[in-house]
A and B are shown apart, each in its own frame.
Chain A
Amino acid sequence: MYLNVIIAGFGGQGVLLIGNLLAYAAMQEGQNVTYMPSYGVEMRGGTVNCTVVISSEQIGSPVVGRPLSAIIMNQPSLERFEPRIMPGGLLLLNTSLVDPKLASRPDIEVISIPMNKLAEGNGDPKLANMVALGAYVEKTKVVSLKSIIAAFPHVLAERYHSLIPTNVEALQLGSRYMKDYGGK
């Protein structure tokens, strides 16, 4: 088993958090894993991304030039990463913030998800990242949703533990959306 994903968006959308959750869950399932945050002189409102590699074999590069999959939460990230996705790869696109017509690759699978809108309907638009992660895990089955839920207390600082239930709700919402979407 080998899968890699680039998760990208604005600073503050929580892309690093869902990268951490995914990596932690995969580790707990016995996989090899690397998590690499984008690193540079970052600023508020700027773009941020991370790369997660999950493999049953030893992982060489934590850096990925052409990802097999991507979760794109804003437009600048689509412009930057869509051309790099491997042919036949997967793109989960946040259509609350990006016009789906801007995704131009015919040779990849693009799944449109109104991540912010769904999260807002659930009571907190800030949890768009959890909707994305729930959908991604449902689509790829790279880890179980249960493992993601179990990862929260390890990944989140203790002062945020009271927020775990609402995060889990948004996660499950994303997962259900993908299940229904798959039927379309």
Chain B
Amino acid sequence: MGKGRIEEKGLDLVKGNEALAMGAIDAGCRLYFGYPITPQNDIPEYLSKHLPLLGGEFIQAESEIASINMVLGAAATGTRAMTSSSGPGISLMQEGISYMAGSELPGVIVNISRSGPGLGGIAPSQGDYFQATRGGGHGDYRVLVLAPSSVQEMYDLTIKAFELADKYRNPVMILGDAIVGQMKEPLVRRTPEVREPPKEWALRGAKGREKNVLKSLYLGEGELTQHVWKLHQKYERMKEDVLYEAINLQDARLVVVAFGSVGRVARTAIEMVQKEGYPTGLIRPITLFPFPEEVIWETSKRVRDFLVIELNTGQMVEDVKLSVAEGTRVHFYGKPPGSMLTPEEVAEVILSNMK
């Protein structure tokens, strides 16, 4: 990722949440609206310091509901804007996200998730997979979902998120957790070209042109049907932007599917069992919607056993089951949000599913 992007600004040891904030700045985002919640506070902290220096605006809103509606308003002017929060705050934002999807407004929403339900805890969690990939709000809509697994990806995928949001005129969600948010790794920060398409639809004053209308209310005969079909076609087109990482699929006897931080834990586990002579592959979805169903389907025609590992009690496993060829055995190993998975533990699970 990041190919073709210009001179490197050098290497620094950076926290994931800060890398994400840097990515937003380097993507040309100058407007942030949010309300504090752990474990994502490093994002607003960084942006509150840097956005004003760049001529941007940082607003701590009175609530998450206000934050997302400010993003909606900013997006309507064609300006790159974002918000970030965690589980409970993202729940509050769902109405606004639905309105953005209905009005075809771009915007980036970051969820560095907590472990719910309810207030839950602040430990790593993948419990918000359904909320992120199934819409979360009301109506027949989708948001693009990106799941970074490293500090570099927190940065790169944030830039990507703004590009995809503009490309599809649709909200994009970044789904992370306390591991990718709080860990530090070397980050290569680049000087990006801000690739922003022309936004003829934006509300910037209608002098000398027809007025633009941005809305999600369609009451005319057949109007809404037509609108939702149009949105549907857009969600289908998003498949051309599917991203995933694949390792050892060629000679694998079993393929692990895991995303985000768990994808990394699984990667080490796979190295462990490979050394013991058990050929294992990994598919790490980077876009959770659109889901990398094609690579899973193709691989499942050769590999009969799939093992889905999640830091929840079973969410993405449903998408894997929908993707595999008939006769594939889809195994699952998960732990409730708030607990932790180690490579040693995952390696044991892989072996027990292979022997």
Tell me the bound Cα distance from A36 to B15 in angstroms.
Answer: 9
Among candidates A24, A63, A154, residue contacting B265 with C-beta atoms closer than 8 Å: A63
Interface string of A19-38 (1 = CB under 8 A from B): 01001100100001111110
Whether B343 lies near A35 (C-beta < 8 A) is no
Interface string of A40-69 (1 = CB under 8 A from B): 110000000000000000011111111000
Tell me the bound Cα distance from A23 to B151 in angstroms.
Answer: 14
User: Would you call A39 an interface residue if the criterion is a C-beta within 8 Å of the partner chain's C-beta atoms?
Assistant: yes
| A17 nearest CB across to chain B (Å) | 13
Q: A40-B122, A40-B123, A41-B122 are in contact. Are A61 and B182 (CB under 8 A)?
A: no
User: Would you call B146 an interface residue if the criterion is a C-beta within 8 Å of the partner chain's C-beta atoms?
Assistant: no
Tell me the bound Cα distance from A62 to B342 in angstroms.
Answer: 9
| A75 nearest CB across to chain B (Å) | 23
| B320 nearest CB across to chain A (Å) | 21
Whether A39 lies near B268 (C-beta < 8 A) is no
Tell me the bound Cα distance from A36 to B343 in angstroms.
Answer: 15
| A113 nearest CB across to chain B (Å) | 26
User: Would you call B184 an interface residue if the criterion is a C-beta within 8 Å of the partner chain's C-beta atoms?
Assistant: yes
Among candidates A34, A60, A65, residue contacting B271 with C-beta atoms closer than 8 Å: A60
**Contacting residues, chain B, for A40 (C-beta < 8 A):** 122-123
Whether A27 lies near B343 (C-beta < 8 A) is no
Residue among A27, A35, A62, A154 with most chain B CB within 10 A: A62
Among candidates B11, B122, B184, residue contacting A39 with C-beta atoms closer than 8 Å: B122
Tell me the bound Cα distance from A35 to B343 in angstroms.
Answer: 16
User: Would you call B264 an interface residue if the criterion is a C-beta within 8 Å of the partner chain's C-beta atoms?
Assistant: yes
Closest to B178 in A: A39
**Contacting residues, chain A, for B178 (C-beta < 8 A):** 39
Tell me the bound Cα distance from A125 to B267 in angstroms.
Answer: 41
User: Would you call B148 an interface residue if the criterion is a C-beta within 8 Å of the partner chain's C-beta atoms?
Assistant: no
User: Would you call B76 an interface residue if the criterion is a C-beta within 8 Å of the partner chain's C-beta atoms?
Assistant: no
Whether B264 lies near A62 (C-beta < 8 A) is yes
Whether A65 lies near B344 (C-beta < 8 A) is yes
| B263 nearest CB across to chain A (Å) | 9
* Contact-residue bracket for chain B: 20 to 34
Whether A63 lies near B179 (C-beta < 8 A) is yes
Whether A65 lies near B343 (C-beta < 8 A) is yes
Closest to A24 in B: B13
**Contacting residues, chain A, for B267 (C-beta < 8 A):** 60-61
Tell me the bound Cα distance from A183 to B122 in angstroms.
Answer: 47
| B341 nearest CB across to chain A (Å) | 7
Among candidates A33, A34, A60, residue contacting B343 with C-beta atoms closer than 8 Å: A60
Whether B123 lies near A39 (C-beta < 8 A) is yes
**Contacting residues, chain A, for B344 (C-beta < 8 A):** 65-66
**Contacting residues, chain A, for B122 (C-beta < 8 A):** 39-41
Whether A37 lies near B182 (C-beta < 8 A) is yes
User: Would you call B186 an interface residue if the criterion is a C-beta within 8 Å of the partner chain's C-beta atoms?
Assistant: yes
Closest to B186 in A: A27
Tell me the bound Cα distance from A40 to B261 in angstroms.
Answer: 17
**Contacting residues, chain B, for A61 (C-beta < 8 A):** 264-265, 267-269, 342-343
Q: A20-B13, A60-B271, A61-B268 are in contact. Are A36 and B341 (CB under 8 A)?
A: no
Closest to A58 in B: B267
Whether A34 lies near B39 (C-beta < 8 A) is no
Residue among B124, B185, B344 with most chain A CB within 10 A: B185
User: Would you call B224 an interface residue if the criterion is a C-beta within 8 Å of the partner chain's C-beta atoms?
Assistant: no
Closest to B184 in A: A35
Interface positions of B (Cβ within 8 A of A):
11, 13, 39, 121-124, 178-179, 182-186, 261, 264-271, 340-345
Rank and list the top 7 A-B pairs by shortest CB-CB distance, nearest first.
Answer: A65-B342, A60-B268, A60-B267, A61-B268, A65-B344, A35-B184, A61-B265
Q: A36-B183, A60-B271 are in contact. List 11 more A-B contacts (CB 8 A).
A: A23-B184, A35-B13, A35-B184, A39-B122, A59-B264, A60-B269, A61-B265, A62-B179, A63-B340, A65-B345, A154-B13
- 25 residue pairs A–B, Cβ–Cβ below 8 Å: A27-B186, A32-B186, A34-B183, A34-B184, A34-B185, A35-B13, A35-B184, A35-B185, A39-B39, A39-B122, A39-B123, A40-B123, A59-B185, A60-B265, A60-B267, A60-B269, A60-B343, A61-B264, A61-B269, A61-B343, A62-B183, A62-B264, A65-B345, A66-B342, A66-B344
